A = this chain, B = another copy of it.
Amino acid sequence: MPVQWRRAGPDLLVGLDPDAGALGVQIQDQVRAAIRRGRLRADERLPSTRRFAAALGVSRGTVVAAYEQLLAEGYLQSAAGSGTRVAAGLEEPAARPAEPSVSAPPTVADFEYGIPDLSSVPLADWRRALIEATRRLRTAELGDGDPAGSMHLREVVSAYHRRVRAGCAVATETVIVAGFREGLSFALAALRRHGIADVAVEDPGPHEQDVLVRRAGLRPLPVAVDDGGIDVASLGRSGARAVLLTPAHQCPTGVVLSPARRRRLIAWASRVDGVILEDDYDAEFRYDRRPVGSLQGLAPGRVIALGSVSKTLAPAIRIGWVLAPKRFAAVIADEKRLCSRGAPGIDQEALALLIETGRYDRHLRRMRDVYRLRRDVLVAEAEHAFGRGSIQGSAAGCHVLLRLPEGVSERTVVADAAGRGVRVHGLERYRFPRGDADVAAARVPSLVLGFGNVDAERIRQGIRVLADAARRAAASDH
């Protein structure tokens, strides 16, 4: 049977479809839509339920129920003696905005920092682990659970960190979160609750970490990074009692914190009763030796170590961890309880199983070979195009620093490359914002090249585009 259109009032045409479910609901939906679209205006009187029902050929009870629903929702109002009217003050819904039209050049290479090889994500293993997790979880484990995360995963992660990262964390001082940034937000909030006001950050350092520090109500203090990592003497002079750093493979310069600096850093922390936030973000991938152990293993009472699977498995699997001294772990778990509940319980169990069955390690071994090959290609191509010594920070991780010829503008090269389908950022993006153009101009221009998600052929093409761009920039500047 086709839709029956009937006029229920001067401005209200209602179409009822006997095959589209309850008539009362159809009436409600159409009156609601008429109000939203302005066909029924504020204060306009609706027909009586008797007339409405007669016009549509439905029972009066159906119309009464529809009116009642719309009265309860606030679309209609009724007053003794004046019948049922459209409520006043309802706004127009926002129009659906047009889709933006994008006309970017085809991508040759995307050297964006921090993306792992997405074509190698071990989806079959993860699927198997999810299936097993949904079978193994007990009913009670489907609730909110411990704010610090599932004890199973906390045990597995802390044991993994002890085994692979030479840490000495225990499960009860491990908090599972939904990734590095969430963990950092909670750790910063915990510092604040412990009376810490300033947090030293590496300069250059991870993009936007000053924003995150400020958002937690803390003051970021930039401390210079050189070829040995963060300058611990400057850190001491900063007056901060907390520092956020990337010791295993500095972001973005790629340097590894030197042994002497590691010791001095721990000594600094003891002296000022301080805290070290260790962003242990791509420590698993070291190419020239066994990865340097986590600072957490050296000074468990002073270090809050943060890790995640975003760069080892995939950003689309959101699990991270915070290994913290007891006085911080409880506060971090409490922040998490208040603001989120962290990673899904099912995913937590799946990750615990993935690590326990050895599949996580196997994946990391495989990826180390994949990334080593990409690194080798990148270093060879870049040194061919830009000269020996132009690449820094290739001992570990999935990004390197490329020094451009002196006097060439980072911005010019970045913009030129973007126009030719190569996405890359200059080192300037990672520097602490100061608005000091003279200092910036005096620096060695450099590009940060993330290669985790760029295959060898795209690396070759991308470097060629960058070399051309640098040549053009040099020619135009001189």
| Chain A interfacial positions (CB closer than 8 Å to B) | 25, 28-29, 32, 36, 65, 68-69, 71-75, 77, 87-94, 96-97, 115, 118-119, 121, 123-124, 126-127, 130-131, 134-135, 137, 139-145, 166, 168, 170, 172-173, 178-179, 181-182, 185, 189, 208, 211-212, 215, 217, 256, 259-260, 262-263, 266-267, 270, 289-290, 292-293, 295, 297-302, 310, 314-318, 325-326, 338-347, 453
| A341 touches which of B25, B124, B179, B263 (Cβ 8 Å) | B179
B344 and A344: CB pair below 8 A? yes
In the docked arrangement, what's the CA distance between A266 and B91, Å?
Answer: 9
B346 and A317: CB pair below 8 A? yes
Chain B residue nearest to A98 in the complex (CB) = B172
Contacts of A300 on B, CB cut-off 8 Å? Answer: 91, 93-94
The verdict on A90 contacting B289 (CB below 8 Å), with A32-B166, A143-B315, A314-B142 known, is no
The verdict on A297 contacting B73 (CB below 8 Å), with A318-B341, A340-B182 known, is yes
The verdict on A178 contacting B215 (CB below 8 Å), with A87-B263, A134-B126 known, is no
Smallest Cβ distance from A97 to chain B, in angstroms? 6
Of the A-B pairs whose beta carbons lie under 8 Å apart in the complex, a sample of 12, sorted by A's number, is A65-B289, A69-B289, A74-B259, A74-B266, A91-B300, A94-B326, A96-B170, A143-B315, A181-B339, A181-B340, A212-B339, A344-B347
The verdict on A94 contacting B301 (CB below 8 Å), with A74-B266, A89-B270, A347-B347 known, is yes
In the docked arrangement, what's the CA distance between A319 and B139, Å?
Answer: 19
A262 and B115: CB pair below 8 A? no
A182 and B339: CB pair below 8 A? yes
The verdict on A293 contacting B181 (CB below 8 Å), with A142-B118, A170-B94 known, is no
The verdict on A74 contacting B263 (CB below 8 Å), with A217-B217, A301-B91 known, is yes
The verdict on A208 contacting B96 (CB below 8 Å), with A127-B131, A262-B73 known, is no
In the docked arrangement, what's the CA distance between A211 and B339, Å?
Answer: 10
In the docked arrangement, what's the CA distance between A340 and B181, Å?
Answer: 5
The verdict on A316 contacting B345 (CB below 8 Å), with A77-B259, A93-B168, A139-B118 known, is yes
B341 and A181: CB pair below 8 A? yes
Contacts of A315 on B, CB cut-off 8 Å? Answer: 142-145, 341, 345
Contacts of A208 on B, CB cut-off 8 Å? Answer: 338
With contacts A87-B263, A123-B134 known, what are 18 further pairs, Cβ within 8 A? A32-B297, A69-B289, A72-B289, A73-B298, A74-B266, A89-B270, A91-B300, A92-B301, A126-B134, A137-B316, A141-B316, A143-B316, A178-B178, A178-B318, A185-B339, A215-B338, A316-B346, A318-B343
A72 and B259: CB pair below 8 A? yes
The verdict on A178 contacting B73 (CB below 8 Å), with A90-B299, A172-B96, A302-B91 known, is no
Smallest Cβ distance from A261 to chain B, in angstroms? 9
Contacts of A453 on B, CB cut-off 8 Å? Answer: 143
| A298 touches which of B74, B115, B118 (Cβ 8 Å) | B74
In the docked arrangement, what's the CA distance between A69 and B165, Å?
Answer: 12
Smallest Cβ distance from A289 to chain B, in angstroms? 7
A145 and B73: CB pair below 8 A? no
Chain B residue nearest to A163 in the complex (CB) = B29
The verdict on A317 contacting B338 (CB below 8 Å), with A74-B259, A97-B326, A298-B90 known, is no
The residue among A71, A94, A317, A343 with the most chain B CB atoms within 10 A of its own CB is A94
Chain B residue nearest to A76 in the complex (CB) = B259
Contacts of A115 on B, CB cut-off 8 Å? Answer: 143-144
In the docked arrangement, what's the CA distance between A318 and B263, Å?
Answer: 41
3 smallest CB-CB distances across A and B, nearest first, come from A316-B345, A74-B262, A93-B168
B32 and A97: CB pair below 8 A? no
In the docked arrangement, what's the CA distance between A292 and B339, Å?
Answer: 28
In the docked arrangement, what's the CA distance between A91 and B314, Å?
Answer: 35
Contacts of A260 on B, CB cut-off 8 Å? Answer: 77
In the docked arrangement, what's the CA distance between A152 and B264, Å?
Answer: 50
Smallest Cβ distance from A150 to chain B, in angstroms? 9
The residue among A69, A141, A344 with the most chain B CB atoms within 10 A of its own CB is A344
A143 and B170: CB pair below 8 A? no
Smallest Cβ distance from A420 to chain B, in angstroms? 21
Chain B residue nearest to A247 in the complex (CB) = B74
A97 and B172: CB pair below 8 A? yes
Chain B residue nearest to A130 in the complex (CB) = B130
A139 and B119: CB pair below 8 A? yes
Contacts of A94 on B, CB cut-off 8 Å? Answer: 170, 173, 300-301, 325-326
A340 and B127: CB pair below 8 A? no
